[in-house]
Copies of this chain bind each other. A is one copy, B any other.
């Protein structure tokens, strides 16, 4: 991205070293947790301090308009025929900042991660980017303390490696975007209390464990320009991270740019077509007007029990900071499965992606995983989605390249965890069903430099996929 010409020097920390550091980080996270008293209580919707239902619209919001609101949305999308529905959605039009500071320490690239406590998150404390803040927060619109390390990202700075607006969950948020940044610092930046420099090798290893690397960190990591070392050159395989998982794709198979089934232009054209085919139309409406959802004492939920619930929470936290607040959160009706089916074509790893149409996406469609659904919900899936879901669930042990339970956005979602899996599916045909394409990991990676192309679930999985080959370097 910086356009320089110096060749990268590939330095991989040894497997033992990485495993040791990863264990240290887990201990450090435990220590951080021990210093915290964190309580999340469920409260009735009427008892969310500072929030109220607007009399006219029925929207759940703060009278001062701060933070976000729960509103209704009316959606039309086209498939073979138009499909219309209404649903609640989070309206949070601000652009937040997710910034990761990185440095080269003796050739090893390290990131400055934050042990961040979030009310909705399993494990309470997970690894977050250096800065994870809403615009109001870091501009101190509502008072509050200064955002640490902000000056490394805002206003514009040198050393920018990644800088791109990315979408969040399109079925929950209306056109919400965060700015994902990676900035390389030349000088010495000290890790304050609650922050830690961690080698990217250890981060990739930790990403293979349940509930350690948070969603925002995964999003930023997915955009990181990495130089994937060639397996043949370096003898690096999927197990180089040192945690002894099953052997994954070799690094070389991720990078060969000449062996893709489709050119990048063809992928962009396919996406344009899918956007026009679905022609999603979404507009805010009063929550009072949404159909099929009921507002109860404790939750706003669909009469079928499917999808999600809007609930009330009261949060109190004491430790480094002392704070208490109330807010609505979203609770999923059931756990989700998010999976890539992958296979080698022309000697290069290809990922089967779907053009995913979601109500809250700016252009209606972004590139999503092969599988993104709640297996417990047995309706609304077309035949291909059903087939790929079963393939992802029923895969034999030797076909499972990646398998972990990861938490979603802990500030808005209540204890939401999804299964993330990457499944080798070499026997799948090269022919693609309507709405799907085989693309290479390198193509997917290059699209993360752009706004509005790859959805958050696919970005998370891309970070997981990258972790299998343990790349540790920024691009030159």
A interface residue numbers (CB < 8 A to B): 1-3, 93-95, 97, 135, 154-156, 160, 163-165, 175, 177, 179, 181, 263-266, 268-270, 272-273, 275-276, 279, 281, 283-284, 362-363, 449-452
Contacts and interface: CB of A to CB of B under 8 A. Distances in A.
A165 B265 contact: no
Nearest to A156: B273
B97 A276 contact: yes
25 contacts: A1-B263, A2-B263, A2-B265, A3-B263, A3-B264, A93-B279, A93-B281, A93-B283, A94-B279, A95-B275, A95-B276, A135-B276, A156-B273, A160-B269, A163-B265, A163-B268, A163-B269, A165-B275, A165-B276, A179-B272, A179-B273, A179-B275, A181-B272, A272-B451, A363-B451
Nearest to A265: B1
A290 to B, nearest CB: 16
B281 A284 contact: no
B281 A179 contact: no
A363 B453 CA distance: 13
A113 B63 CA distance: 55
Contacts of A2: 263, 265
A348 to B, nearest CB: 15
Contacts of A270: 156
A264 B273 CA distance: 26
B272 A165 contact: yes
A434 to B, nearest CB: 10
A410 B1 CA distance: 41
Copies of this chain, whole number: 2
Contacts of A263: 1-3
Given A179-B272, A179-B276, A276-B135, A94 B265 contact: no
Given A268-B450, A362-B362, 8 more contacts: A95-B279, A156-B270, A156-B273, A160-B266, A163-B273, A177-B363, A179-B272, A450-B450
A268 B450 CA distance: 8
A234 to B, nearest CB: 26
Closest 8 CB pairs of A and B: A1-B265, A3-B263, A163-B269, A93-B281, A163-B272, A362-B362, A95-B276, A160-B269
Nearest to A141: B82
B268 A164 contact: yes
Contacts of A95: 275-276, 279
Contacts of A175: 362
A10 to B, nearest CB: 21
A93 B279 CA distance: 8
A135 B165 contact: no
A1 B263 CA distance: 8
A175, A181, A272: residue with the most chain B Cβ atoms closer than 10 Å: A272
